[in-house]
Amino acid sequence: MSEEETEVEEINTAPGLLLAYAPAEDESPSDRRRNKPDDSITGLRNWVPKTRLGHEVMAGRIITYEDAMKSGLPIREVEIVDALIPNLEDDIIKVNMVQRMTDSGRRVRFNVMACVGNRDGYVGLAMAKGKEVSQTIRKAITAAKLNLIQVQRGNGSWESSIGPGTSVPFKVQGQAGSTRVTLMSAPAGKGLVIGETGKRVLQMAGITDVLSRTKGQTQTTINYAAATFNALAQVNRTRVSDARREALFIHKGRMLE
Protein backbone atom coordinates (compact mmCIF):
# COMPACT_ATOMS: atom_id res chain seq x y z
CA MET A 1 0.00 0.00 0.00
CA SER A 2 2.82 2.36 0.80
CA GLU A 3 4.44 1.67 -2.57
CA GLU A 4 1.19 2.55 -4.36
CA GLU A 5 0.90 5.79 -2.40
CA THR A 6 4.49 6.68 -3.26
CA GLU A 7 3.83 5.99 -6.93
CA VAL A 8 0.76 8.22 -6.96
CA GLU A 9 2.68 10.97 -5.22
CA GLU A 10 5.42 10.86 -7.85
CA ILE A 11 2.87 11.12 -10.66
CA ASN A 12 1.23 14.18 -9.07
CA THR A 13 4.43 16.18 -8.95
CA ALA A 14 5.78 18.77 -11.38
CA PRO A 15 8.57 17.34 -13.57
CA GLY A 16 11.09 19.95 -12.40
CA LEU A 17 10.49 19.06 -8.77
CA LEU A 18 10.97 15.38 -9.58
CA LEU A 19 14.38 16.21 -11.05
CA ALA A 20 15.27 18.43 -8.12
CA TYR A 21 14.56 15.77 -5.51
CA ALA A 22 15.71 12.77 -7.54
CA PRO A 23 18.80 10.86 -6.33
CA ALA A 24 22.01 12.53 -7.46
CA GLU A 25 23.76 11.01 -10.47
CA ASP A 26 27.35 11.22 -11.63
CA GLU A 27 27.78 14.64 -13.24
CA SER A 28 30.66 16.73 -14.55
CA PRO A 29 29.48 20.35 -14.28
CA SER A 30 32.91 21.84 -15.02
CA ASP A 31 32.22 22.70 -18.66
CA ARG A 32 28.53 23.58 -18.51
CA ARG A 33 27.13 26.85 -19.81
CA ARG A 34 25.83 29.64 -17.63
CA ASN A 35 22.30 29.10 -16.34
CA LYS A 36 23.15 25.41 -16.33
CA PRO A 37 20.38 23.05 -15.27
CA ASP A 38 22.07 22.69 -11.85
CA ASP A 39 21.20 26.34 -11.09
CA SER A 40 17.48 25.89 -11.58
CA ILE A 41 17.50 22.55 -9.76
CA THR A 42 19.32 24.08 -6.80
CA GLY A 43 16.79 26.90 -6.78
CA LEU A 44 13.91 24.41 -6.70
CA ARG A 45 15.46 22.52 -3.77
CA ASN A 46 15.59 25.75 -1.76
CA TRP A 47 12.27 27.10 -3.06
CA VAL A 48 9.71 28.40 -0.58
CA PRO A 49 6.55 29.41 -2.54
CA LYS A 50 5.29 32.94 -1.93
CA THR A 51 2.32 33.08 -4.28
CA ARG A 52 -0.90 31.11 -4.54
CA LEU A 53 0.17 29.50 -7.82
CA GLY A 54 3.50 28.55 -6.28
CA HIS A 55 1.75 26.73 -3.44
CA GLU A 56 -0.48 24.93 -5.96
CA VAL A 57 2.58 23.72 -7.90
CA MET A 58 4.45 22.67 -4.77
CA ALA A 59 1.39 20.76 -3.52
CA GLY A 60 1.12 18.87 -6.83
CA ARG A 61 -2.29 20.25 -7.78
CA ILE A 62 -0.78 21.89 -10.89
CA ILE A 63 1.84 19.82 -12.71
CA THR A 64 1.92 21.29 -16.23
CA TYR A 65 2.40 24.79 -17.60
CA GLU A 66 -0.82 24.39 -19.55
CA ASP A 67 -2.73 23.89 -16.29
CA ALA A 68 -1.01 26.96 -14.83
CA MET A 69 -2.18 29.07 -17.78
CA LYS A 70 -5.74 27.78 -17.44
CA SER A 71 -5.80 28.66 -13.73
CA GLY A 72 -5.65 32.37 -14.56
CA LEU A 73 -3.19 33.01 -11.73
CA PRO A 74 -0.20 35.25 -12.52
CA ILE A 75 3.22 33.61 -12.74
CA ARG A 76 5.49 35.75 -10.54
CA GLU A 77 8.06 33.20 -9.42
CA VAL A 78 10.67 31.85 -11.81
CA GLU A 79 10.72 28.58 -9.85
CA ILE A 80 7.20 27.89 -11.12
CA VAL A 81 8.48 27.91 -14.70
CA ASP A 82 11.50 25.76 -13.79
CA ALA A 83 9.22 23.26 -12.05
CA LEU A 84 6.70 22.97 -14.89
CA ILE A 85 9.09 23.19 -17.87
CA PRO A 86 12.48 21.97 -16.67
CA ASN A 87 14.02 21.60 -20.14
CA LEU A 88 14.14 25.29 -21.04
CA GLU A 89 17.22 26.41 -22.96
CA ASP A 90 18.61 29.94 -23.02
CA ASP A 91 20.32 32.03 -25.68
CA ILE A 92 21.91 35.43 -25.11
CA ILE A 93 20.84 37.56 -28.06
CA LYS A 94 22.83 40.71 -27.31
CA VAL A 95 25.12 42.19 -24.65
CA ASN A 96 25.59 45.96 -24.81
CA MET A 97 28.01 47.98 -22.69
CA VAL A 98 26.84 51.52 -21.95
CA GLN A 99 29.34 54.10 -20.66
CA ARG A 100 28.35 57.37 -19.08
CA MET A 101 30.53 60.14 -17.69
CA THR A 102 29.50 61.44 -14.27
CA ASP A 103 31.07 63.78 -11.72
CA SER A 104 32.60 60.78 -9.96
CA GLY A 105 34.04 59.29 -13.16
CA ARG A 106 33.03 56.90 -15.90
CA ARG A 107 30.01 54.76 -15.14
CA VAL A 108 29.68 51.41 -16.93
CA ARG A 109 26.46 49.43 -17.15
CA PHE A 110 25.30 46.51 -19.29
CA ASN A 111 22.12 45.81 -21.23
CA VAL A 112 21.44 42.14 -21.95
CA MET A 113 18.72 40.58 -24.07
CA ALA A 114 18.04 36.88 -23.44
CA CYS A 115 15.76 34.37 -25.12
CA VAL A 116 14.55 31.13 -23.54
CA GLY A 117 12.53 28.28 -25.00
CA ASN A 118 11.97 24.55 -25.03
CA ARG A 119 12.05 24.25 -28.86
CA ASP A 120 8.52 22.89 -28.65
CA GLY A 121 5.93 25.65 -28.43
CA TYR A 122 7.23 27.94 -25.67
CA VAL A 123 9.49 30.97 -25.98
CA GLY A 124 10.30 34.00 -23.84
CA LEU A 125 12.27 37.18 -24.52
CA ALA A 126 13.34 39.95 -22.14
CA MET A 127 16.00 42.56 -21.42
CA ALA A 128 17.76 43.47 -18.20
CA LYS A 129 20.21 46.11 -17.03
CA GLY A 130 22.94 45.84 -14.43
CA LYS A 131 26.45 46.71 -13.36
CA GLU A 132 28.00 43.26 -13.87
CA VAL A 133 27.69 41.02 -16.91
CA SER A 134 27.09 37.69 -15.14
CA GLN A 135 24.42 39.07 -12.81
CA THR A 136 22.72 40.91 -15.67
CA ILE A 137 22.64 37.75 -17.78
CA ARG A 138 20.99 35.78 -14.98
CA LYS A 139 18.56 38.65 -14.48
CA ALA A 140 17.66 38.70 -18.19
CA ILE A 141 17.14 34.92 -18.30
CA THR A 142 14.86 35.11 -15.26
CA ALA A 143 12.85 37.92 -16.86
CA ALA A 144 12.57 35.93 -20.11
CA LYS A 145 11.20 32.91 -18.22
CA LEU A 146 8.55 35.09 -16.60
CA ASN A 147 7.70 36.46 -20.08
CA LEU A 148 7.08 33.02 -21.55
CA ILE A 149 4.34 32.67 -24.18
CA GLN A 150 2.67 29.74 -25.91
CA VAL A 151 3.40 29.58 -29.62
CA GLN A 152 0.70 28.57 -32.08
CA ARG A 153 2.01 26.46 -34.95
CA GLY A 154 0.12 25.28 -37.99
CA ASN A 155 0.16 24.37 -41.68
CA GLY A 156 -0.95 27.56 -43.39
CA SER A 157 0.88 27.06 -46.68
CA TRP A 158 -0.96 25.58 -49.66
CA GLU A 159 2.02 23.26 -50.13
CA SER A 160 1.73 21.83 -46.63
CA SER A 161 0.60 18.28 -46.08
CA ILE A 162 -1.65 16.89 -43.38
CA GLY A 163 -0.04 16.67 -39.96
CA PRO A 164 1.28 18.72 -37.04
CA GLY A 165 2.22 22.26 -37.98
CA THR A 166 5.85 23.32 -38.18
CA SER A 167 5.26 26.92 -39.28
CA VAL A 168 3.08 29.89 -38.35
CA PRO A 169 -0.57 29.21 -39.25
CA PHE A 170 -1.06 32.47 -41.16
CA LYS A 171 0.66 35.71 -42.11
CA VAL A 172 1.43 37.86 -39.09
CA GLN A 173 3.50 40.99 -38.42
CA GLY A 174 5.47 42.18 -35.40
CA GLN A 175 7.10 45.53 -34.77
CA ALA A 176 9.72 46.91 -32.40
CA GLY A 177 10.99 50.43 -32.92
CA SER A 178 11.43 50.98 -36.65
CA THR A 179 11.87 47.25 -37.35
CA ARG A 180 8.95 45.31 -38.77
CA VAL A 181 9.04 41.56 -39.31
CA THR A 182 6.37 39.73 -41.27
CA LEU A 183 6.19 35.95 -40.83
CA MET A 184 4.48 33.83 -43.48
CA SER A 185 3.60 30.15 -43.59
CA ALA A 186 5.99 27.76 -45.27
CA PRO A 187 5.74 24.03 -46.06
CA ALA A 188 7.68 21.45 -44.07
CA GLY A 189 11.29 21.23 -45.22
CA LYS A 190 11.54 24.86 -46.36
CA GLY A 191 13.58 25.91 -43.35
CA LEU A 192 13.76 29.30 -41.66
CA VAL A 193 14.03 31.94 -44.37
CA ILE A 194 14.80 34.83 -42.03
CA GLY A 195 17.81 36.70 -40.65
CA GLU A 196 20.09 35.09 -38.11
CA THR A 197 18.63 36.99 -35.14
CA GLY A 198 15.05 36.08 -36.00
CA LYS A 199 16.11 32.50 -36.67
CA ARG A 200 17.45 32.14 -33.11
CA VAL A 201 14.11 33.24 -31.64
CA LEU A 202 12.09 30.94 -33.91
CA GLN A 203 14.31 27.96 -33.16
CA MET A 204 13.73 28.43 -29.45
CA ALA A 205 9.98 28.53 -30.15
CA GLY A 206 10.04 25.23 -32.06
CA ILE A 207 9.22 26.67 -35.50
CA THR A 208 11.27 24.97 -38.21
CA ASP A 209 9.78 26.41 -41.41
CA VAL A 210 8.88 30.02 -42.17
CA LEU A 211 9.07 32.70 -44.84
CA SER A 212 9.65 36.31 -43.82
CA ARG A 213 9.80 39.89 -44.97
CA THR A 214 11.47 42.70 -43.03
CA LYS A 215 11.40 46.50 -43.12
CA GLY A 216 13.23 49.20 -41.21
CA GLN A 217 16.53 49.00 -39.34
CA THR A 218 17.00 45.24 -39.42
CA GLN A 219 20.64 45.58 -38.36
CA THR A 220 19.46 46.52 -34.88
CA THR A 221 19.71 43.12 -33.21
CA ILE A 222 17.53 43.96 -30.21
CA ASN A 223 14.66 45.37 -32.27
CA TYR A 224 14.89 42.51 -34.79
CA ALA A 225 14.57 39.89 -32.03
CA ALA A 226 11.78 41.81 -30.30
CA ALA A 227 9.85 42.23 -33.56
CA THR A 228 10.07 38.49 -34.26
CA PHE A 229 8.87 37.71 -30.74
CA ASN A 230 6.02 40.23 -31.05
CA ALA A 231 4.95 38.55 -34.29
CA LEU A 232 4.66 35.21 -32.49
CA ALA A 233 2.69 36.89 -29.71
CA GLN A 234 0.40 38.48 -32.30
CA VAL A 235 -0.67 35.01 -33.47
CA ASN A 236 -2.19 34.40 -30.03
CA ARG A 237 -4.21 37.63 -30.26
CA THR A 238 -5.79 36.68 -33.58
CA ARG A 239 -9.23 35.12 -33.35
CA VAL A 240 -9.56 31.87 -35.29
CA SER A 241 -12.72 29.80 -35.69
CA ASP A 242 -12.70 26.15 -34.74
CA ALA A 243 -13.20 25.11 -38.36
CA ARG A 244 -10.26 27.25 -39.48
CA ARG A 245 -8.14 25.96 -36.63
CA GLU A 246 -8.84 22.38 -37.69
CA ALA A 247 -8.17 23.11 -41.35
CA LEU A 248 -4.78 24.71 -40.61
CA PHE A 249 -3.83 22.05 -38.02
CA ILE A 250 -3.18 24.77 -35.46
CA HIS A 251 -1.68 23.57 -32.20
CA LYS A 252 -0.85 25.80 -29.25
CA GLY A 253 2.08 25.05 -26.95
CA ARG A 254 3.82 21.71 -26.64
CA MET A 255 3.13 18.66 -28.75
CA LEU A 256 1.96 16.57 -25.80
CA GLU A 257 1.32 12.89 -26.45
User: Model confidence at 157, in pLDDT bands (50, 70, 90)?
Assistant: confident
Answer positive or negative: Cα dihedral of 65, 69, 72, 73. positive
Please give, one letter per residue, the 3-state secondary structure of the chain.
Answer: CHHHHHHHHHHCCCHHHHHHCCCCCCCCHHHCCCCCHHHHHHHHHCCCCCCHHHHHHHHCCCCCHHHHHHHCCCCCCHHHHHHHCCCCEEEEEEEEEEEEEECCEEEEEEEEEEEEECCCCEEEEEEEEECCHHHHHHHHHHHHHHCCEECEEECCCCCCCCCCCCECCCCEEEEECCEEEEEECCCCCCCEECCHHHHHHHHHHCCCCEEEEEECCCCCHHHHHHHHHHHHHHHHHCCCCHHHHHHCCCEECCCCC
C-beta neighbour count of 121 within 10 angstroms: 23
pLDDT in the model for residue 238 = 84
Q: What is the rounded (10 degree) CA torsion for 229, 220, 135, 204?
A: 30
Backbone angles phi, psi at 30, to 5 degrees: -65, -35
Task: Map out the domains of the chain with their CATH numbers.
Answer: 2-84 (no CATH), 89-148 (3.30.160.20), 152-252 (3.30.230.10)
C-alpha 178: how far from chain center: 24
Answer positive or negative: Cα dihedral of 81, 236, 111, 76. negative
pLDDT in the model for residue 245 = 80
| Tens of pLDDT, residues 227-243 | 999 999 999 888 888 88
User: Model confidence at 40, in pLDDT bands (50, 70, 90)?
Assistant: confident
- The reported pTM is 0.84
| Residue 81 burial class via C-beta count within 10 angstroms: exposed 0-12, middle 13-18, buried 19 and up | buried
| Of the listed ranges 28-32, 63-67, 145-149, 171-175, the one predicted with least confidence | 28-32
pLDDT > 90: percent of the chain: 54
